[in-house]
Amino acid sequence: MEIKEFKIVICGGGSTYTAGIVKNLLDEKRLGMKELWLYDIDEERQNKVAYLVREVVKENRPEVTVKTTTDPKEAFTDADFIMAQMRVGGLPMRVQDEQISLKHGVIGQETCGAGGMAYGMRTIYPMVQLIDYCEEYAKPTYWIVNYSNPAAIVAKATQKMRPNARIINICDMPVEIEARMAEILGCQMSDLEVDYFGLNHYGWFTKIRQNGIDVTEKLKEHVRKYGYISEASMNDVFLKDSDWVHTFKVSAKIANYFPDYLPNTYYQYYLLGDDMYKYMDINHTRGMQVINGREVRVFAAADKLAKGEAVDMNQFYVGVHGVFIVNVVTSLAYDLRSRQLVMVPNNGCVENLPDDAMVEVPTYITSHGPEPIRVGAIPRFYKGLIEQQDACEGLLVEAAMEHSYVKALEAYTMNRTIPSANVAKEILDDMIEANKGYWPELK
Ligand code: NAD
Ligand code: G6P
Ligand code: MN
């Protein structure tokens, strides 16, 4: 195979994930790169992370030059692939989303419920701006592969506001769950193929095949007992992060209540909000844990590298998260048609959901984008859940586009995690106050 040369840009270069993703980029030799570009709006933060990135490059492919910029023209001119991972408002605003929600008695979460909608309102316009930069400066064949959350709302908004944009929104959660499934089954991830439908952070596995053999019932039995946790994983990564252990265990309850399919872990917030509200601690939110954990580690390592001290870079590698986005990019680059779960406009893929829902389903990634695999009709319970969430996300996007307070209130009221219009209004009013300068003004 002839190796082509690409200009790859990481948007959100200052992210805690950048060094890890770069490792996976460098491992993929088919992505011929002379230069790797980092773009961010926060120069200082990006410059710190760049120390880690240069170290990864030095250890893996020293011939690659790392370029950093805060100038969109420089970043996106003639770009082939833009990997986006912006966090609008940063981690401190994540903590605010979590705490405001919890204060009003509902779950406080990065991408779900009241917090997720607040984050969505912050992110819609910066993502549209990114598309506009790429339309102006990048190659006409550019692709944005986007991790920036809340990906469901970003997908809905960008589809509505820039329907012709070359953007694919992705999420690592289903593939992370597949990695757990492989551990449980004692096989490689590449042995597995899944069928799946839903919205982002709102979907279900309907079938799992291991080397062509249907292992769905076997997996269900395990998940009903233990969740997505294997003996191996208990001794491995998860014990380092108790929230994720908890999350993967909670899926057991959902799998028992609703035996048809296996849930995305994010359903814990929508279907077991009461349990999760009790579990959450307003003084020790997930955002705070990331600020005091992952972010501290990244900046401490950058400081060490700046002083010429050695750092173990293995701690920053992000496994499936990096592998997945690089697989999507490589499949776009070489028309590999690999099978990947990504977000696409429904357009009949799930027969009884609206055409304009942004569904997360298996697709083949071609050079001209994802070709979804038809799901067919889904049962009433799942259809009802998804229609409600799609309506909620659609209303939020319309609120942002039309600057409509009433539509924002409708979106907050429509969300399953919020018990009444009274609570919705109280939270919305607090969120408007806390997000001044970030949200479009609502009238
Ligand atoms: P982070 O705060 O460490 O990094 C985000 C970076 O984005 C920061 O350097 C910030 O300055 C930059 N940024 C903010 N607004 C920007 C803009 N308009 N243009 C360019 N850069 C901008 O956050 P993190 O924890 O590393 O997460 C990064 C993003 O990836 C978040 O949105 C997170 O939710 C998302 N994420 C998504 C998935 C998924 O499954 N889709 C998985 C993991 C992380
Ligand atoms: C998973 C989800 C992402 C989410 C992340 C949060 O990877 O798919 O959408 O952003 O978890 O992880 P954190 O460690 O920041 O809480
Ligand atoms: Mn996700």
**Protein residue whose Cα sits closest to atom 14 of ligand 2:** 290
User: Is residue 409 helix, strand or coil?
Assistant: helix
Residue 5 DSSP code: B
Ligand nearest to the CA of 93: 1
Of the residues 109, 171, 266, 280, which should be mutated to test ligand 2's pocket, given the most ligand atoms within 8 Å of the CB?
171
**120, amino acid identity:** G
Strands 65-69, 35-39: parallel, antiparallel or unpaired by DSSP? parallel
pLDDT for residue 237: 53
What's the CA gap between 96 and 257, in Å, rounded?
32
> What interhelical angle do 216-226 and 173-185 show, nearest 10?
100
Q: Give the position, in ligand 2's atom list, of the atom nearest the Cα of 150.
A: 9
Whether 168 contacts 338, CB under 8 Å: no
Whether 411 contacts 392, CB under 8 Å: yes
Q: Who contacts 397 (Cβ-Cβ below 8 Å, separation ≥6)?
A: 120, 124, 153, 156, 157, 160, 161
Of the residues 85, 98, 111, 264, which should be mutated to test ligand 2's pocket, given the most ligand atoms within 8 Å of the CB?
111
- Report residue 59 as tokens: 């250890």
**Protein residue whose Cα sits closest to atom 16 of ligand 2:** 286
Strands 262-263, 213-214: parallel, antiparallel or unpaired by DSSP? unpaired
Which residues form the pocket of ligand 1, taking CB atoms under 6 Å from any ligand atom? 11-12, 14-17, 40-42, 45, 85-88, 90-91, 126, 147-149, 151, 171-173, 321
pLDDT for residue 1: 80
What does the chain come to in residues? 443
Name which of 66, 71, 73 is nearest 49 in CA terms. Answer: 66
pLDDT for residue 239: 57
Spell out, as residue ranges, where the chain has pLDDT lower than 70. Answer: 233-240
User: Is residue 10 helix, strand or coil?
Assistant: strand
- Report residue 41 as tokens: 């709006």
Q: How far apart are the first and last CA of the chain?
A: 56
User: Is residue 374 helix, strand or coil?
Assistant: coil
User: Is the alpha carbon torsion for 148, 149, 151, 154 positive or negative?
Assistant: negative
Count Cα neighbours of 167 within 13 Å in the Cβ-side half-sphere.
Answer: 31
Q: Could you give the residue numbers annotated as active site?
A: 172, 266
Residue 350 DSSP code: B
Q: Give the position, in ligand 2's atom list, of the atom nearest the Cα of 171.
A: 8
Q: Measure 39 CA to ligand 1 centroid, in angstroms.
A: 12
- Report residue 285 as tokens: 């939110």
> What interhelical angle do 113-137 and 421-434 show, nearest 10?
50
**Protein residue whose Cα sits closest to atom 11 of ligand 1:** 42
Q: Measure 2 CA to ligand 2 centroid, in angstroms.
A: 36
Q: Measure 416 CA to ligand 3 centroid, in angstroms.
A: 19
Q: Who contacts 353 (Cβ-Cβ below 8 Å, separation ≥6)?
A: 346, 359, 378, 383, 386, 387, 390
Of the residues 46, 48, 86, which should be mutated to test ligand 1's pocket, given the most ligand atoms within 8 Å of the CB?
86
H/E element, 134: helix 113-137
What's the CA gap between 394 and 414, in Å, rounded?
11
What's the CA gap between 429 and 263, in Å, rounded?
32
